[in-house]
Structure 1
Amino acid sequence: MAYEAFAGVYDAFNEDADYDSLFRYVCGVLRAHGVEDGIVADLGCGTGELTLRLAAAGYDMIGVDLSPEMLSVLREKAWETGQEGLLLLCQDIAELDLYGTVRAAVSTFDTFNHIGPAEKFRRALCRAALFVEPGGLVLFDMNTPYKHAHILSDNVYEIEADDAYCVWRNRYDAAACCTHIAVEITYPDMDECDKEAFTEYAYSLEEITRACRQAGLRVEHVADGEDFGPLRPDSVRYFITAVKQAAGENE
């Protein structure tokens, strides 16, 4: 899922996202673990709202996304704000290949939900962990199985912005624990219509923890990914703090 059609209108459709609170939480976790500067990779960076905030906070940012269109939007934003020192890589994070190690990797807005089935998800975590220094962090959020079953489910959502209109249709597959999504974007005064289809996979916290362990990561904390408080049975998003283990280190 690369969000080709979404790139130009993603920010307009996502304008209610609380990037400031997300940035404060991520930055707080990084600094609490001694990661106050150095290289940080934003995996599935999209149009770079979090990437740019972290860059402004003093981190040397690498933005990784499968969509060249998303990276193009990010590059333009960086130029407009004078933050031109970003390294942007067009890659599938399940096949992540950085030039060296980073102090932390961050992935938000359910990027890892788009990676599946389970074996590919585990591989993506392994690739992320491979490039993180021992003692460094992998911070990521994921939509919960509760959200898939009770919020996404088989619902249809309509999203309207000034220059585009989106219809988002979900089809929940309980047996496979995933949601198949079809998106149609239309534009005022234009005949063209963009369509995309993709699948989000839901993983239990036990599955996520096991996958982290296999990647050499220790899950240190799980918060609610919306308000960053304690996790609840009806939380719609996990936010996971995982620490890269040193070679031979046991949990």
Structure 2
Amino acid sequence: MYQEFAQVYDELMKEIDYSQWSEYLQRLFLNANREIKSVLEFGCGTGNITCNLAKKGFEMTAVDISEAMLTIADEKADAMDLKNIQFYLGDMSNFKIDKNYDAVISCCDSVNYLPTLEAIQSFLVCSHDSLKSKGLLLFDINTVTKYKKTIMDNTYVYDTDDVFCVWENEPDFTKGEMHFNLTFFSKNPNETYNRYEETQTQYMYTIDEINRCLLNIGFHKIKFFDFGSYNPGSNEGERIQIIAEKK
């Protein structure tokens, strides 16, 4: 999965301030009733947040379903000489590990890639099982409002020194799905280009649906923030940050 997209992901997402995102997570860790030292990250991608948190001293275990993404993440960690990261190939909805953590995180709307509420619940079970008592679960989602009013059926063109990409959004609001159709050309060292095509799908969920799933699994002290702030989150925002505690 995401074999070719992994090679251009960082170039296309370079406007994201991962350092600021990581600092926001670190501030949210202060909500915990235990000190956060060890963190399990689901959907780590190319390791941008993973490495930022590792540089701050957290013991990181990072999981992704894409081997290609993990290869890039591991190369970043090696280049930074970060010894406090372990990477695993795995699915966030069925991952098992014989260890418990102070916090479980999933960032960059990774949870929106889960196709059903049953898959969401499976992810929450994995997270709950991986947490220590009073440990925190933190993840974010894109809202239905964002898909309908911002993402919509827009087409974007990215033209950089090494990548040319056409990104077409194809919504199906009756099914609660958003399809991203990507065609991109990646430059080789010999100045030729490789052409790739890839389709990804995200799924739309409401705060009420997520809240019910969290309660069903046994989480409590559930909070929904407007992403990047401590203001109450709503379905009318664009990205919601969710925090929940294991009893």
TM-score (norm 1): 0.91
Structure 2 match to 1:12: 11
Range 182-191 or range 201-210, more displaced:
182-191
Q: Post-superposition shift, 1:162? A: 2.1
Inter-partner Cα distance in structure 1 for 2:2 and 2:229: 26
Structure 2 match to 1:237: 239
Pairing 1:73-92 to 2, within 5 Å after superposition: 73-92=72-91
User: Residue 56 of structure 2 aligns to which amino acid in structure 1?
Assistant: A
Offset from partner CA, 1:189-212 (integer Å, 9 cap, x none) = 434211111210010000010111
User: Residue 96 of structure 2 aligns to which amino acid in structure 1?
Assistant: D
SS at match of 1:187: strand
Is the contact between residue 145 and residue 236 of structure 2 (CA under 8 Å) also seen in structure 1? yes
Structure 2 match to 1:112: 111
TM-score (norm 2): 0.92
Structure 1 match to 2:99: 100
User: CA 1:176/1:226 → structure 2, altered by over 3 Å: closer, same or farther?
Assistant: farther
Q: Post-superposition shift, 1:27? A: 0.5
User: Residue 194 of structure 1 aligns to which amino acid in structure 2?
Assistant: Y
- Output the aligned Cα RMSD: 1.7
Pairing 1:114-129 to 2, within 5 Å after superposition: 114-129=113-128
Inter-partner Cα distance in structure 1 for 2:98 and 2:26: 24
Pairing 1:1-251 to 2, within 5 Å after superposition: 2-188=1-187, 189-226=191-228, 229-231=231-233, 234-245=236-247
User: Residue 243 of structure 1 aligns to which amino acid in structure 2?
Assistant: E
Q: Post-superposition shift, 1:36? A: 3.9
Offset from partner CA, 1:30-81 (integer Å, 9 cap, x none) = 1332554432011101111111111122211001001111111111111111
Range 12-21 or range 60-69, more displaced:
12-21
Q: Post-superposition shift, 1:5? A: 1.5
Inter-partner Cα distance in structure 2 for 1:75 and 1:6: 17
User: Residue 42 of structure 1 aligns to which amino acid in structure 2?
Assistant: E
Is the contact between residue 106 and residue 140 of structure 1 (CA under 8 Å) also seen in structure 2? yes
- For these two proteins, the number of residue pairs brought into alignment is 244
Range 32-41 or range 157-166, more displaced:
32-41
User: Residue 174 of structure 1 aligns to which amino acid in structure 2?
Assistant: F
SS at match of 1:25: helix
SS at match of 2:123: helix
SS at match of 2:192: coil
What residue ranges of structure 2 are gaps of 5+ in the alignment? none
Inter-partner Cα distance in structure 2 for 1:104 and 1:170: 33
